[in-house]
Structure 1
């Protein structure tokens, strides 16, 4: 479970992104936020500190907290601990995300996939490769494996939108957490064809396993994007 100040920061960030709190206006004062979120002043201060470190707001004693919404970074960034899916992230930013299905097949898992998903060799999995397109521009490629028994009824139509919406909304599954590893890699043939990477270009690869509430792995995936397109951010404040 996330600390309460992170949950509050996420809500405030979404409000800024959606225009509820417009740029160059003031956030509600801390007394109002304490009441709304039933939190201590210290918790509210930590939430605002996170947004300050991202360049979203500027707080000065006696002058309130001004909405800036100007990221310090020159590329799109996503919270490193966020695993609710790209569709939800981009919807919160009011950006149009579409998908192109490159591969959709059922197969028996490799030794690596067996280990990551904690399944046996004879348990079939979906192999999914999707190009995610943001505002009409190729954004990243997802290579995903999911146990067929956990996600019955998966279709191409679902892949064109949000798999997580289907998993949560239609199947009623609840996420329990995720393990994520981020590393650089050389571009492969998919990156070169669909992301216009040069042979010598590096890519940023995010490898993750998403777990259900009961501890069973739901997904093993690798998301790959150009080094100059997307990054991941992590904020921290003193406990």
Structure 2
């Protein structure tokens, strides 16, 4: 599968930062200049820069431009941005991610799922539970509900790969905004069975609703990690 254009822009900028072409504090070329140089649209460059900003690699100052950030010394290998719309495969940029399907069924939503996804009781949803593994080590359990009418023809091949890629590339749907709640909770039977969590281990839970650009909710999900396997981070830039 061809790499998305904005990912090639991301790779180019990151490579230049690592090589010292762009150093901490340097002002990057403006979006149009980068677009002309790399043979892409300015919107593609903007998408790439927005992603790099969320990761703290660059920062923007209103009226001045986009600059290279200094290294973040407290960053760790298990950091995951809490404000991105990418799936695990794209987030970790790894080919060693696997999915084990624990549950995959279609049914009618209960009252809470109806409310979360703005559905009636007669509109079916997918009920999906997946264990995501990295290097064959369990990382996260994802429990996801999606309306069948918005995500048609979902199958096990897609579940073993990337649902988000299917939504974006095959169905041509775009995410608009999301509500996310992160909290600590106790381990349950699934955590103990699939994540090797101990009975008294705290878990990190991310609950979210994702809407499309047309305002329709497409996903309600709960993801759970063992406390020592993942951090959620947010990079904030003051805009004055």
TM-score by length of 2: 0.77
Alignment of 1:70-219 (within 5 A): 72-91=74-93, 94=94, 96-219=96-219
Give how far 1:222 is off: 0.4
Aligned pair in 2 of structure 1 residues 223, 14: CA closer, same or farther (>3 Å)? farther
Going from structure 1 to structure 2, the CA distance change for 1:234 and 1:13 (only over 3 Å counts) comes to farther
Give the aligned CA root-mean-square deviation in angstroms.
2.5
Instruction: Report Cα offsets for 1:161-216 as digits up to 9, x if no partner.
Output: 00011111111212111111111111111111010000111110111111111100
Counterpart position of 2:230: 230
**Whole-Å Cα distance in 1 between the matches of residues 28 and 207 of structure 2?**
40
In the aligned structure 1, how far is the partner of 2:155 from the partner of 2:180? 26
Question: CA offset at residue 24 of structure 1?
Answer: 6.6
Change (3 A) 1:237 1:32: closer
The answer to whether 1:25 aligns with 2:27 is: no
How far does residue 74 in structure 1 lie from its aligned partner after superposition?
3.9
After TM superposition, give the deviation of residue 12 of structure 1 in Å: 5.5
1:132 and 1:138 in contact (8 A); partners too: yes
Counterpart-to-counterpart distance in 2, 1:230 and 1:149: 33
- 1-side partners of 2:63 and 2:19: how far apart? 23
Residue 42 (str. 1) matches residue 69 (str. 2): no
2:66 and 2:106 mapped to 1: Cα distance?
47
Distance in 2 (alpha carbons) for counterparts of 1:84 and 1:141: 16
Cα offsets for 1:88-122 (capped at 9, x unmatched): 1122xx45211000000011112111111010112
In structure 2, relative to structure 1, the CA distance for the partners of 1:31 and 1:74 (3 Å cut) is closer
Match of 1:68 in 2: none
Name the CA distance, whole Å, in 2 between partners of 1:189 and 1:221. 18
Kept in 2: contact 1:212–1:218 (CA 8 A): yes
Q: How many residues align?
A: 205
Unaligned residue ranges in structure 2 (runs of 5+): 1-5, 36-41, 43-59
2 CA distance for matches of 1:124 and 1:95?
33
Task: Give the distance between the partners of 2:194 and 2:235, measured in 1 at CA.
Answer: 31
The alignment partner of 1:205 has SS state of: strand
